[in-house]
Structure 1
């Protein structure tokens, strides 16, 4: 019981002092009351947990953030996590921070483009309600696949963003991948599809992750029936390391001649670069290679990443070519 209590103190202090969450939000997350959260925070201060454990002098987060920002010309938010943190805990902390940032950035009369996936689904669970007027949330990539419709999963995720901001929701009723490029070209001429594409082009903010082929927390596109074995083999043969919005990338960020991309329904890197603020949320060792590819493709302006992944990213970047960055206008 004592160990569980200490864990609650640590979790409450981390969310309050590092993620800047309100006591009411922390209480909901811990399944307790606001007064209990207040007592947990008091205990953290009295025992020195906040000073010694949460803000040790050896923390790498600030320096990592500055190094990544300098290397890639982006804004970086590195979330401190202990070296012993597991993949689920790391994702949880990053999702909370990303949700807080999105809430501060998104406001009335704005459009947010959202790409579905495991990481963004985690972000959706931590969005604090912020009523807006005249705003909209639009789905960036199709969701249907060859095994199931996939629509319900994406619909719930996109709708949760809309509910958090009282925003109009625009779903994208197309497959994640068409069987034939000609079919995609024909669908892109349909008025119902063009309406959603036009809304995507109006986006002020886009939020997405970097998809990875494998790992402790596998990316949804690789684990839920969107690709068959032949597709996976083809991606491997073409040197693909991951995707952004279901558009596949090589390590150097190239994508245009990857065969499956002619059938993909997500925005290409060139199209994504038209969005002023492009928020990439990443956590996990398996995300380092696709994240670096996304940075080389120039699709990221704001990166939210955990401390362990950030360290691995900088280590990997020393052996890679220079990124093709497109910084956000200041």
Structure 2
């Protein structure tokens, strides 16, 4: 294909910020064709992707996160940028990081949410052989099947890699732990759970009730007022993959987690790469809990959130906690 055409499409996607769907509609081709054009542009050197980590932010984070085995990727976003603008910038960096880690035969697990949706919309196209995209946690509730939300997210992520999409059609939270235990014995569910344990890369955000861009799980009737009161009584600061954590990183004795469909931090710790994407200083207490649970290998944040995290950790010395079970 003509390099001028590739450069035009690449400029629309990477510089202007158009989605692949918008470009496909304007140019008159399919989304998969746009995906292949972007991949071709990278292969020919028309597009060169680098991930920049400003040293003035990463130095402070590295000092605090080194003992947790976490690498920080700080995105320099202009002061005064709106929450949505910061989310877009961080999502682009996270999308490039995810795609740089994916190869033929690899599998990517995605926990649905506001942040991961933004990342998926910015995944650079990278057609692969025998790749799989797997839903990490259920999305159904008493109000919705979750298919339109989580299913569409998974389909778009799979399209970026020409990958197979593996859905996880279970509730986000079961009504009772016994119901979860029964369904976990079903062969079709066990197959997806086994895929969770063999993922190459996991992508997730951090849920927090006080965030500027609240997690979908807190705004779409997944939790009852009684559930929220119980979490407050348990000193919960947020969640990762719909598994709730305290600021000290503990989670195993939080009763509501017995009803959650998401992978625990313990399971996440067994995976090679776990990318956590966070935007907003209000999420910092929840982020600290997730980091201390050792669920993360790569943290992608905007500069404002990074500085807030450093200040939080400096004012609250590291806790002497047991490794969460």
Number of the residue aligned with 2:92: 96
- Alpha-carbon distance, 1:68 to partner: 1.3
- Does residue 65 (structure 1) correspond to residue 71 (structure 2)? The answer is no
Residues 1:321 and 2:318 aligned together:
yes
| In the alignment, structure 1 residue 208 sits paired with structure 2 residue 204 | yes
Whole-angstrom distance in 1 between the partners of 2:180 and 2:253: 17
Task: Calculate the aligned-residue CA RMSD, in Å.
Answer: 2.3
Aligned pairs for 1:14-25 (under 5 A) are 22-25=10-13
> Would you say 1:152 and 2:140 are equivalent positions?
no
Task: Tell me if structure 2 keeps the 8 A contact 1:296–1:325.
Answer: no
**CA offsets per residue over residues 255-309 of structure 1, 9 Å max, x none?**
0111100000100111110111000000012211111111111111001000000
The aligned runs of 1:221-260 (5 Å cut-off) are: 221-260=217-256
Query: Which residue is equivalent to 2:32?
Result: none
Structure 1 residues 263 and 285: alpha-carbon distance in aligned structure 2, compared to 1, 3 A threshold: same
Please tell me whether residue 305 in structure 1 is matched to residue 296 in structure 2.
Answer: no
1:25-45 residue CA offsets vs partner (Å, 9 max, x unmatched): 235525899xxxxxxxxxxxx
When the two structures are aligned, how many residues end up with a matched partner?
282
Q: Which residues of structure 2 form unaligned runs of 5+?
A: 1-8, 27-52
Q: How does 1:85-234 map to 2 (within 5 A)?
A: 85-234=81-230
Which residue of structure 1 lines up, in the alignment, with residue 40 of structure 2?
none
Secondary structure at the counterpart of residue 116 of structure 2:
helix
Q: What is the TM-score when the length of structure 2 is the normalising length? A: 0.82
Instruction: Return closer, same or farther for 1:115/1:209 CA change in 2, 3 Å cut-off.
Output: same
SS in 1 for 2:17: helix
Contact kept, 8 Å, 1:143 with 1:149, in 2: the verdict is: yes
> How many angstroms apart in 2 are the aligned matches of 1:292 and 1:142?
24
Q: Secondary structure at the match of 1:148?
A: coil
Distance in 2, Cα, partners of 1:220 & 1:69: 30
Alpha-carbon distance in 1 for matches of 2:283, 2:85: 15
Q: 1: distance between equivalents of 2:109 and 2:14?
A: 27
Q: Classify 1:244/1:324 alpha carbon distance in 2 versus 1 (closer, same or farther; 3 Å).
A: farther
Say whether the 8 Å CA contact 2:206–2:239 is kept in structure 1: yes
